[in-house]
Amino acid sequence: MSDSPECSLFEVLPTVYGGRSTFAKQDITKGTLVLKCAAPYSSVILRKFRKEVCGWCFSYSFEHGKRKWDTKFDTGNKNSAPPIVFCTDDCLNTWERNYQDPGTAKALSWLQIHSNFEKTVTQETAGLAKSTNASRFTTFSTNLSLHLQTLSGGDVTKENMEEAWRLAEETFSKPKTILSALRELGRSSVSSDNGVFLTEFEADSARFILDGLFTRTFQAMPSAPSSSETSSSGDRNDSAFNIGSWNDLLELQVLELDNIRSRPSLLASFIRVYGFVKYIISSTSGPSGPPIEASSLGGVLLGLVSNSNVVRDILARDHSNVFGIWEQAEDDVDCEMLGWGMFVFGAYFNHDCEPTIVKKREGRSLMFYTMRDVAAGEELCTSYIDVSAESTLEKRNAELEGEWFFTCQCERCQRERGGVDKAVKKSETSLP
């Protein structure tokens, strides 16, 4: 990323307190664009907003005086998935260039994946709702659900987390039996919601993972659909600095074990997401479909889910490194979060309760601007949480410790802690 003009203002260096951070290479004046992430590596629009948010630029129809967008990608099949909507024909065309197979026409496309995904979720959700209560709580038949059951109440260690993933790979090794295994997990109480095939969150996470797998696949394909496009368009094959490469993504902080320790049901959720993603990719390109060449999009995707490593690499970085995709009127108190996206380089910025930079979304891009003059060598930080004047030290740190697992040592926090210490000392000395 050091080659790009947008990144020449700062560098990523190790810090004295551990980890890495971003530091200004020169004096930067207030309001300077320091980073442009042209597009997310991976993103998802929440299912409930699917008719109102443009599938390419994330534009929200209500902000344009419309209840929904009317430009649809024609699936050509009435019984298949709900259409993906766009604000303009331009957005539809760009989306098509980026989500359809750059290789042969008969090969796998995003649309087939999407159709299969939505159809399966609908069918399975209906099927599971019909299953009797008697069968719901008595079927801890697989090693995987038994193991998850023992972990759901308490102590998750690195070892038993790894064992769960090993059992998951074993359980999902044959594509044909993945669905029945997922049904079993859905019926058992190891899932976050009893009797649910995939929760809304799990289904959205699975869509997010699929999008990430597509980006990785497209970036690796020689016959890229849009490599001749300008680099500001946010297309998948933009030079890596805009979107980030797979290796850039791997540089992001991993909080998998911390997350699962604080919310043990997440492990079962992650495993269900992996199983479902593997099922969807395998069954879309399955025996009834066209033959899959290893170098085609379908072939590469199949390879990526043959074990859990790649899906896990994304899931392990999802929670703490993604940005909400908010409607543009961010100052509105009723502002809606429409989805979320992993803007890889944006996630390199650390947190500070008095941030130096602020982010602003423009279509598919996320821009980072300085909020005040910054001196050379100063750390560039954003805020992960509400840091307004009303947000107290206790509230901020509870949130940072709960979600990001660190105690903030920024100047504001130290100052406010110092204030507390002094107040305590004062009252002690005033005691008789």
H or E, element range at 135: helix 133-136
| CA distance readout (Å), 292 to 68, 284, 289 | 37, 11, 8
Q: Is 54 in the site for Zn ion (CB under 5 A)?
A: yes
**Residue 371 dihedral angles phi and psi, to the nearest 5°:** -95, -15
Question: 249 or 353, CB closer to Zn ion?
Answer: 353
Question: Does 266 engage in binding with Zn ion (CB under 5 A)?
Answer: no
Residue 25 CB, nearest approach to Zn ion (Å): 24
91 near Zn ion, rule: CB under 5 A: yes
> Position 347: which residue type?
A
281 binds Zn ion (CB under 5 A): no
Nearer to Zn ion, 17 or 294 (CB): 17
What residues contact 212, with CB distance under 8 A and at least 6 apart? Answer: 41, 42, 249, 314, 342
Does 59 contact Zn ion by CB under 5 A?
A: yes
Nearer to Zn ion by C-beta: 39 or 87? 87
Nearest approach, Cβ of 59 to Zn ion (angstroms)?
5
Cβ of residue 337: shortest distance to Zn ion, in angstroms?
Answer: 18
- What's the distance, CA 65 to chain centroid? 29
CB of residue 231 to Zn ion, shortest distance in Å: 19
Question: CB-hemisphere CA count at 13 Å for 160?
Answer: 18
- Residue 320 CA to residue 257 CA, distance in Å, equals 12
Report the nearest approach of Zn ion to the CB of residue 1 (Å): 27
Taking CB under 5 A as the criterion, which residues in 346-365 touch Zn ion?
353
Complex with Zn ion: residue 89 or 159, whichever CB lies closer? 89
Structure tokens at 369: 């601007």
How many residues make contact with Zn ion (CB under 5 A)? 10
Q: Which of residues 298-357 bind Zn ion (CB under 5 A)?
A: 353
- The span of 180-188, 228-236, 334-342, 413-421 binding Zn ion (CB under 5 A) equals 413-421
Residues 310-333 as b/e (b if ≥16 CB within 10 A, e otherwise) read bbbbbbbbbbbbbbebbbeeeeee
Given the rule CB under 5 A, which residues bind Zn ion?
54, 56-57, 59, 87, 91, 353, 408, 410, 413
